[in-house]
Structure 1
Amino acid sequence: MIAETVCSAVAVAGLGIAAVTAYRKRFLAAARTAAYALVPLGLVMTGAVQWIVDTAFSPTAWAGFGVLGVAWGLFMTTRAVERRRGMSRKDRRAAKAQAKAAGAAEREAVAPGASSPASGRPSLKPSKQSAKPASRPSSAPGSEDFSDIEAILKKHGI
């Protein structure tokens, strides 16, 4: 009963403020204030206020909110553990085997006679290898270049 009286008083006060605002020629603000003032009156008329009051002072309702909170906490905890774990054991084992196979393929892809990567500085001394002719002929012109590119791409996982 008290909640309905308070809501009705708030609605009447809000409508009074809206009337004063409209008197000052601020019609948009007055309409907005009237809309806010009518909400508590509508809640009283629909019976929602009585339902809220009955729920707020009911120990059973508060116990239900507690149970819902525990359920929500369990959902969030299990979700966090799933994210932290990432993959399952089976998925981790498969990824490890795949990485091992990729590493073996990378070692096989590098040409045995390939030089080390360039350091970024030009060499002033002529290379001893450039003076000697190639000891083994390649089957196709430029095939060594493609194998180097392939090895680099495999190294970066492309």
Structure 2
Amino acid sequence: MIAETVCSAVSAAGLGIAVVTAYRKRFLAAARIAAYSLVPVGLVMTGVVGWLADTAFSPTAWAGFGVLGAAWALFATTRAVEHRRGGTRGTRAERKAAARGAERDAVAPAGSAPSLSPAARPASRPAAAPRGTGSGDDFSDIEAILKKHGI
């Protein structure tokens, strides 16, 4: 009974704030405030507030939460132990051998590189300038790229 009264008062106050906000010509904000202020009344009308109040003061419900916590702790503990042991797929050496075998296997071992038709082949590239040891040769590759793109 008290929870329903509090929720109704909160909704009434929120609607009052929405009216003041709308009076100040901020209609979008007023509509948003009105929507938020109607939520507590909706929860009271659906019975959620009564259910929550009954649950909050019920020792059986808190015992149920304790059981759920214990189940979660068991799941987390068993997962941590399994992870530390390396899983349930055999010994560590067997898993490493399987991983090495998977790395070596190709998706299509008999496949070849795709061939390009003469029209799809890129034009022949100009030969790169030979590299020297001088500081002027450091930028020769960059100059070649810029010339290639017409810059």
Class of the TM-score when normalised by the shorter of the 2 chains: 0.5 to 0.7
Residue of structure 2 equivalent to 1:49: 49
Q: Supply the distance in 2 between the matched residues of 1:45 and 1:78 (Cα, whole angstroms).
A: 43
Residue of structure 1 equivalent to 2:86: 86
TM-score, with length taken from structure 1: 0.58
**Structure 2 segments unaligned to the other structure (5+ residues):** 102-151
Residue of structure 1 equivalent to 2:23: 23
Residue of structure 2 equivalent to 1:69: 69
Q: Describe the superposition over 1:78-134 as per-residue Cα deviations: whole angstroms up to 9, x where unpaired.
A: 1112222224483324257x49xx9xxxxxxxxxxxxxxxxxxxxxxxxxxxxxxxx
Count of matched residue positions in the alignment of Structure 1 and Structure 2? 99
2:25 corresponds to 1:32: no
Sequence identity (%): 77
Do the aligned partners of residues 38 and 93 (structure 1) sit closer, same or farther apart at CA in structure 2, a change above 3 Å counting?
same
Alignment RMSD (CA, Å): 2.0
Q: For 2:20, give the aligned amino acid.
A: V
Identify the structure with bigger relative contact order (alpha carbons < 8 Å, sequence gap 6+).
1
TM-score, with length taken from structure 2: 0.60
Instruction: Give 1:90-101 correspondences, 5 Å limit.
Output: 90-95=90-95, 98=97
Residue of structure 1 equivalent to 2:9: 9
**Structure 1 segments unaligned to the other structure (5+ residues):** 103-158
* Structure with max Cα Rg: 1
Q: Supply the distance in 1 between the matched residues of 2:90 and 2:36 (Cα, whole angstroms).
A: 58
Q: For 2:58, give the aligned amino acid.
A: S
